[in-house]
Structures are given as structure tokens and as C-alpha cells.
């Protein structure tokens, strides 16, 4: 009888631990759990109209009409955001740091800027080493930025 009780306890313990594993910060889903490290960060699911924000351990839809943040999460697919060269930018220029969410992760940003409606030239590309944070300057006349890698992007306080 003790043998069966121990097996039952083990099964309950594994079930209780399952939600912790589901709180993977790089797999956001509406209503799903998010890790404390991503609290306050936004992300955009492919094909969705509104971004998600991690609030109190849960991914929720952003309800403001012009979402903007100083913290973004990129994961899996490339996250493309608009900058100050367009109305209602999703992020502001300045010093940013991208931190990989796993030991071998690599963060990459490709920025396109414009002057008077014309693209300034080739995209600016910044890429970090595996597992290392990437520091970069988001350019003032940013049209778009493509963020890739399973990374948390944060604007530095000036």
C-alpha cells in the first residue's frame, strides 16, 4: 500500500510543477502564464492585430490604441516594430539592451531609418554574441526595427 501512495504523491507533485514549466517567457499566448522576468514587457504574436503584455504573471491583450513600450520580448519569429519616423512609434530611440533568455541565445536587431521619406541606405545591423547581452543605439529616424532571438529588449534610463 505504501508503494501506491508514493506513486500517487509523485504524480501530484509533477502535476503541481507543470504550470511553472508552462511559464516559458518565449512562448507567449493570450491568457497564458509569463515569467517574472518579462513582467511589463510587450510582444506581438504573428498575425495578431494587438500586442500582448505580461502583467502579474499572465499574457494579456494591450488595449491602448497606440501601444508603445520600453520593454519588448522577441521570440521565435522576428518582431517588427515601427519607430519615430512614423506616427505612434512602438518604441523610442536611445540606448537599448537585449538580453538572451537562454545561455546560447543570440539577439539581433536590423534597423531601417529614413530622412524626408527616403530610406537612408542599407539597414544597420547589430548582433550579440551567443549568451551575451547586446547593447545598441536605436536610431532617431527609425522606420522599422526587426528584433530576433529569444530576447528581452529594454530601453536604458537616460
Residue position matching grid coordinates 504574436: 45
Comparing CA positions, the residue from 124, 116, 131 lying closest to residue 85 is: 116
In a domain, 10, yes or no: no
Cβ 73 vs Cβ 151: under 8 Å: yes
The pLDDT assigned to 12 comes to: 29
In a domain, 34, yes or no: yes
The pLDDT assigned to 39 comes to: 92
pTM of the model: 0.80
Task: Report how many domains make up the chain.
Answer: 1
In a domain, 62, yes or no: yes
In a domain, 2, yes or no: no
pLDDT of 105-114, one tens digit each? Answer: 999 999 999 9
In a domain, 133, yes or no: yes
What pLDDT tens digit does each residue of the chain (158 aa) get?
A: 333 333 333 332 322 332 333 446 667 888 889 988 999 999 988 777 789 999 999 999 998 888 899 999 998 889 999 998 888 899 999 999 999 999 999 999 999 999 888 888 899 999 999 999 999 999 999 999 999 999 999 999 86
pLDDT of 8-26, one tens digit each? Answer: 333 323 223 323 334 466 6
In a domain, 143, yes or no: yes
Residue 140 phi, psi (nearest 5):
-65, -40
In a domain, 6, yes or no: no
The pLDDT assigned to 24 comes to: 60
In a domain, 76, yes or no: yes
- 69 lies in which domain range? 23-155
The pLDDT assigned to 17 comes to: 30
Residue 10 phi, psi (nearest 5):
-60, -45
Amino acid at each position: 500500500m505504501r508503494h501506491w501512495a508514493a506513486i500517487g504523491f509523485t504524480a501530484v507533485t509533477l502535476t503541481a510543477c507543470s504550470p511553472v514549466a508552462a511559464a516559458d517567457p518565449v512562448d507567449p499566448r493570450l491568457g497564458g502564464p509569463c515569467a517574472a522576468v518579462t513582467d511589463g514587457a510587450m510582444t506581438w504574436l504573428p498575425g495578431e492585430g494587438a500586442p500582448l503584455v505580461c502583467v502579474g504573471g499572465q499574457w494579456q491583450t494591450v488595449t491602448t490604441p497606440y501601444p508603445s513600450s520600453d520593454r519588448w520580448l522577441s521570440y521565435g519569429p522576428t518582431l517588427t516594430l515601427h519607430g519615430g519616423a512614423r506616427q505612434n512609434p512602438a518604441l523610442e530611440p536611445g540606448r537599448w539592451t537585449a538580453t538572451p533568455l537562454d545561455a546560447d541565445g543570440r539577439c539581433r536587431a536590423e534597423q531601417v531609418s529614413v530622412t524626408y521619406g527616403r530610406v537612408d541606405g542599407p539597414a544597420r545591423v547589430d548582433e550579440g554574441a551567443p549568451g551575451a547581452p547586446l547593447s545598441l543605439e536605436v536610431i532617431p529616424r527609425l522606420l522599422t526595427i526587426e528584433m530576433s532571438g529569444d530576447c528581452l529588449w529594454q530601453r536604458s534610463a537616460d
